[in-house]
Amino acid sequence: MNLVLCPLSVVPVRREPSDRAELVTQWLFGETAEVLERRIPSQGSGWSLLRFHHDGYEGWVDNKQIAATQVATFPKAPRSVAAFAWYDHHLLPFGAVLSKVQFTSAQDRTSDRLTGPPIERILAVMDQWMDAPYLWGGRTPMGVDCSGLTQALFMIAGTSLPRDAYQQAEVGTHVDLIDLAQEGDLAFFDNAEGRIVHVGIVLSGKRILHASGRVRIDTIDQQGIFNAEEKRYTHTLRSLKRVL
């Protein structure tokens, strides 16, 4: 069983093969992966190290939460869920992937129903994410981190992004100044050591959609993100990229 599929709504992916290990991302219903390593102890089901087809990320998943599949690659234009939907006793989260057969019964809630330019598709579903709680490694409106949010929304726009913020910063065309940024550009922010640790989506009116404590909209300028509630800059701008 080298090729596997996620059979559950949301599956946790760990840094190490243990339920106590750090959550690094989530695997969503219908997404596929390649098994890199499998550990089966004398008792229990064990764990598998997977490489996910949709973004190349790697992590450990409990073998009880894995199903075999013949699908060799992740589709370039997946029929992904654009709103919570029920299918076969599963509550599918935003971003779950449907096959052609599954798509027929849930098509009113999939990305195929969205039309217009990529940024318009992002804006059409953005409200579903507002105030979603921050969750390190999260990829759904039930809990999401900054790069999980941008990855999910860009998938709806038809663009695949890597999983982490520093990886996403390597994609696209550089934009010199915030005054030159367009709606839909990605903004990246670094820490005191110069490492990129945060990402958000630039909106009109020098605003930014990002996940910090919760999914929220703040203002952005050349210095960074200004949180009006806290009356201070919370993130320092490092770079801007145009991907769409």
Q: What is the pLDDT of residue 115?
A: 76
Q: What is the pLDDT of residue 44?
A: 65
On the question of pLDDT at 45 being above 90, the answer is no
Q: What's the domain count of the chain?
A: 3
Note whether 38 and 63 are same-domain residues.
Answer: yes
Structural domain that includes position 131 = 118-242
Q: What is the pLDDT of residues 132-163, one digit of tens each?
A: 999 999 999 999 999 999 999 999 888 999 99
Q: What is the pLDDT of residue 84?
A: 74
Q: Mean pLDDT, to the nearest integer, of 56-80?
A: 81
d(CA 14, CA 138): 12
Note whether 126 and 228 are same-domain residues.
Answer: yes
Q: What is the pLDDT of residues 180-214, one digit of tens each?
A: 999 999 999 999 999 999 999 999 999 999 999 99
174 is known as an active-site residue: no
Assign residue 189 the CATH number of its domain. 3.90.1720.10
What pTM, to 2 d.p., does this model score? 0.86
Assign residue 55 the CATH number of its domain. 2.30.30.40
Note whether 230 and 128 are same-domain residues.
Answer: yes
**Domain-located, residue 74:** no
**Domain-located, residue 230:** yes
53 is known as an active-site residue: no
Q: Where is pLDDT greater, at 40 or 48?
A: 48
Instruction: Read off the pLDDT band of 111 (50, 70, 90).
Output: low
Note whether 158 and 87 are same-domain residues.
Answer: no
Note whether 146 and 236 are same-domain residues.
Answer: yes
C-alpha dist (Å) from residue 218 to 35, 188, 237, 240: 40, 14, 13, 16
Note whether 184 and 237 are same-domain residues.
Answer: yes
Phi first, then psi, for residue 88 (nearest 5°) are 50, 50
On the question of pLDDT at 219 being above 70, the answer is yes
| Catalytic annotation, pick one of 53, 54, 210, 235 | 210
235 is known as an active-site residue: no
Note whether 125 and 229 are same-domain residues.
Answer: yes
Note whether 124 and 225 are same-domain residues.
Answer: yes
**Domain-located, residue 73:** no
Q: Mean pLDDT, to the nearest integer, of 91-113?
A: 62
